[in-house]
Amino acid sequence: MRRWLLPTTLCAIDRAHAADHMTAHAGVALSPTVSLLQVALSLFAILALIMAAAWLAKRYLNIGPRANSTIKMISGLNLGGRERVILLEVGEQWLVVGVTPGHISTLATMPRQETGAPDTRETGKSFAAAMTERFRQLRSENKA
């Protein structure tokens, strides 16, 4: 009998406190506008915390491209909706890579150049036109 006396007493005290709390606030009814404002402010506060955490992580954890990486993207060109040609620097080599949603392929390799783009004055074509033509050739070969 003694075992049940303390838990029963505590439950009775808790119920009495809850009843007092409900009667004290029963006269106060929150309008829908106040409730909506509370929800909107809570959502804004949560989004602000997420953005602050992302900013702190980016600033102090060095997330993202690093300057001392062995692979650097020199240039990129969108050919279509989801096709790209990318010029990568890997060590002392440049790789021209074709990227599609289902496939990545090396189109050409060349020694590292000192300028920002390979020299295309000999052919008379721009780099973009040459890469577009090469990419279309590769797509037609893959379809056949």
SS3 category, 94: strand
Query: Which pair of tokens denotes residue 129?
Result: 């036109």
With CA atoms as reference, report the closest residue to 85 among 70, 100, 69: 100
SS3 category, 122: coil
Does 57 have pLDDT greater than 90?
no
pLDDT digits (tens, 9 = 90+) for 1-45: 556 555 555 555 556 555 555 555 555 667 888 889 999 999 999
Confidence of residue 65 (pLDDT cuts 50, 70, 90): low
Distance of CA 82 to CAs 85, 122, 126, 130, Å? 10, 30, 21, 19
Q: DSSP letter for 40, please.
A: H
End-to-end alpha carbon distance in the chain: 88
> Structural domain boundaries of the chain?
2-61, 71-143
Q: What is the dihedral of CA 13, 14, 19, 22, to 10 degrees?
A: 150
Instruction: Indicate the pTM of the whole model.
Output: 0.38
Confidence of residue 120 (pLDDT cuts 50, 70, 90): very low
Question: What is the reported pLDDT for 121?
Answer: 47
Q: DSSP letter for 3, please.
A: H
Q: Which residue has the higher pLDDT, 34 or 118?
A: 34
Residue 3 backbone dihedrals phi, psi, to 5 degrees: -60, -35
Q: DSSP letter for 64, please.
A: S
User: For the chain, what is the radius of gyration of the CA atoms?
Assistant: 33
Name the one residue in this structure whose structure tokens are 């060109």: 77
